[in-house]
Structure formats: structure tokens, C-alpha cells
């Protein structure tokens, strides 16, 4: 199976309703008929319903930035997987480094969130990535390997087929620093080999692995030219119509 590249925009805690509408409308207009790449917009919860409406008759899919793993009940302020499905979400980001860092999400919590997302029919984008000091200590593969093994613990092959992985080195997120395409490629290959070890070669070959960390119009092409980079999770550059469209559009190979 060919892996269709997937570009997702993570808007984080940005955009009021009017700005969100303008951004999504501009993207929908600019990407009419886009077929080469799967495109996902992940606005804040407050704009999901409206952005879902704007994307309705377009190839663009809706994603959420987070979910809670319980199905329902007394969890003030939380949102369940089925509530996201009701809003039209197809994807959900799980275990973003900002969730791990500021909200104390552990690999165990992330594992529960993955299961909840998959059983509700959502496609999770599982984020993994090392911090700067971990890379400096030469531990990046150990860290990412641990996050993957623990995040995927007990998840069957059938369930794991729905997961997209995003490799996001924490030192590259929002910093303007990007991993060298060859370094990112090395980590993507490592992740694919680990998937082969945990599951099998078919699943490893079919799983899409996005790169994330200061992806911009001027570095996307060299990243996408690497054989194991199957797309991007984009923060800052997804907040403007032109830069996001430029990142999505397929260009002549380098």
C-alpha cells in the first residue's frame, strides 16, 4: 500500500471564531480538489463545529488536539472521543509534547487516550519526541522507543492500523530550529523498524510517520523528499492561509 502523505495543522490555543473561520475558509478555497495529500485541520475545541461546517464539502478533514479517555461522567472540563465524533472529527492528536510537559500526560495516560480514540472510530496522531538535553546525551532513540512501546502497550495490530505517528523533537517545536532532514529520516526509519518489531512488516510499511517541529514553506520540500517522512504536523505555519497551502501543495520532486 502506498502511504498517502498527511499534513495536519495544529492551531493550538489560537484563533477566535472569526479568525478561525477566515483561516479555514481560505484553506478550503486554496486546496479545492487536493488529492495528493490528506489534509487535517485541528482547531481549538471551541471552533470545531464551525470549522467542520466550513470543511464539509471539501477534501479537508477535521481533527481535535486532545481528548479524555473516559466515555462520560464527572470529569469537569474534559471532552470524550464520542463527543469529538459528534462534531465531525476524524482525527485527534494524542500525547503532544505540550500536553506531556504542561499537563503531566504520561505514557500510560496517552495509551488510554489512544484506545479511547480508536474504539470511537477516530484516527489518533500519536506524538513522540525527545528533549534537547536528551538528544545532547545521545538518548533520543531510547526516549522515542520508550514512548512508542509504552504508548502502544496492549494495542492490537488491528487497532494500531488506525494510528498515525508524529515524530516531533521537542527542541524543534516553535523554536524555528528544524531537525536536519537526514536526522529526521534516521529517526523515522528507527520508528518504522520498531513498529516492525512490535507488530509486523506490513503494518510498519503502511503506517504514516509525520515530522513536526518548525515546518515551514521553505523546509517542507527537503523533509518530504526523505523516504520515511510521510507528512508533517505543523504548528505556527498552519496559522496563515498562504504558508499552510504552500506546505500542503505538491511540487515537482527535488
**Whole-angstrom Cα distance, residue 32 to residue 58?**
7
- Quote the crossing angle between the two packed helices 181-198 and 140-151, to the nearest 10°: 40
**Whole-angstrom Cα distance, residue 38 to residue 7?**
6
Cell numbers for 219, please give them. 523546509
Binding mask 55-94 toward ligand PEP (x if CB under 6 A, else -) reads: ----------------------------------------
Distances (CA, A) of 110 to 86, 176, 237: 22, 27, 26
For ligand PEP, the closer of residues 62 and 199 by Cβ is: 62
Among 63, 129, 169, 212, binds ligand PEP (CB under 6 A): 212
Q: Interacting stretch for ligand PEP, rule CB under 6 A, among 114-122, 143-151, 153-161, 227-235?
A: 227-235
**Whole-angstrom Cα distance, residue 186 to residue 180?**
10
Indicate the residue whose CB is closest to ligand PEP: 235
Among 174, 180, 225, 242, binds ligand PEP (CB under 6 A): 174
Size of the site for ligand PEP (CB under 6 A): 13
Catalytic residue among 34, 96, 130, 140: 96
Q: Which helix (H) or strand (E) holds 41?
A: strand 38-42
Residue closest to 184 by CA, chosen among 128, 235, 238, 137: 128
213 binds ligand PEP (CB under 6 A): yes
Among 34, 140, 168, 228, binds ligand PEP (CB under 6 A): 168
For ligand PEP, the closer of residues 93 and 116 by Cβ is: 93
169 binds ligand PEP (CB under 6 A): no
- Quote the crossing angle between the two packed helices 140-151 and 107-119, to the nearest 10°: 50
Binding mask 109-148 toward ligand PEP (x if CB under 6 A, else -) reads: ----------------------------------------
**Whole-angstrom Cα distance, residue 230 to residue 224?**
7
Asked if 96 is an active-site residue, the reply is: yes
Q: Interacting stretch for ligand PEP, rule CB under 6 A, among 27-35, 182-190, 218-226, 231-239?
A: 231-239
185-222 as b/e: b if 16+ CB within 10 A: bbbbebbbebbeebbeeebbeebbbbbbbbbbeebbbe
Q: Which residues are catalytic?
A: 96, 168
Residues at the contact surface with ligand PEP, assessed by CB under 6 A: 10, 168, 173-174, 212-215, 233-237
Amino acid at each position: 500500500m502506498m502511504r498517502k502523505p498527511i499534513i495536519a495543522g495544529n492551531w493550538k490555543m489560537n484563533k477566535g471564531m472569526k479568525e478561525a473561520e477566515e483561516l479555514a475558509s481560505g484553506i478550503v478555497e486554496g486546496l479545492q480538489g487536493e488529492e495528493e495529500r490528506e489534509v487535517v485541520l485541528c482547531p481549538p475545541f471551541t471552533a470545531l463545529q464551525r470549522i467542520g461546517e466550513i470543511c464539509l464539502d471539501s477534501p479537508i478533514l477535521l481533527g481535535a488536539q486532545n481528548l479524555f479517555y473516559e466515555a462520560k461522567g464527572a470529569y469537569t472540563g474534559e471532552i470524550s472521543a464520542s463527543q469529538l465524533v459528534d462534531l465531525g472529527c476524524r482525527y485527534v492528536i494524542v500525547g503532544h509534547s505540550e500536553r506531556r510537559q504542561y499537563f503531566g500526560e504520561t505514557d500510560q495516560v496517552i495509551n488510554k487516550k489512544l484506545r479511547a480514540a480508536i474504539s470511537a472510530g477516530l484516527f489518533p496522531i500519536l506524538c513522540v519526541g525527545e528533549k534537547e538535553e536528551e538528544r545532547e546525551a545521545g538518548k533520543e532513540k531510547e526516549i522515542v522507543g520508550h514512548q512508542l512501546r509504552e504508548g502502544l502497550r496492549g494495542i492490537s495490530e488491528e487497532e494500531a492500523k488506525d494510528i498515525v505517528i508524529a515524530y516531533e523533537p521537542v527542541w524543534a517545536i516553535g523554536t524555528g530550529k528544524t531537525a536536519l532532514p537526514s536526522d529526521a529520516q534516521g529517526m523515522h526509519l528507527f520508528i518504522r523498524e520498531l513498529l516492525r518489531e512490535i507488530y509486523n512488516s506490513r503494518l510498519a510499511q503502511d503506517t504514516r510517520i509525520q515530522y513536526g517541529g518548525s515546518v515551514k514553506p521553505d523546509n517542507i520540500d527537503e523533509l518530504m523528499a526523505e523516504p520515511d517522512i510521510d507528512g508533517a504536523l505543523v504548528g505556527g505555519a498552519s496559522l496563515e492561509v498562504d504558508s499552510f497551502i504552500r506546505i500542503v501543495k505538491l511540487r515537482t520532486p527535488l
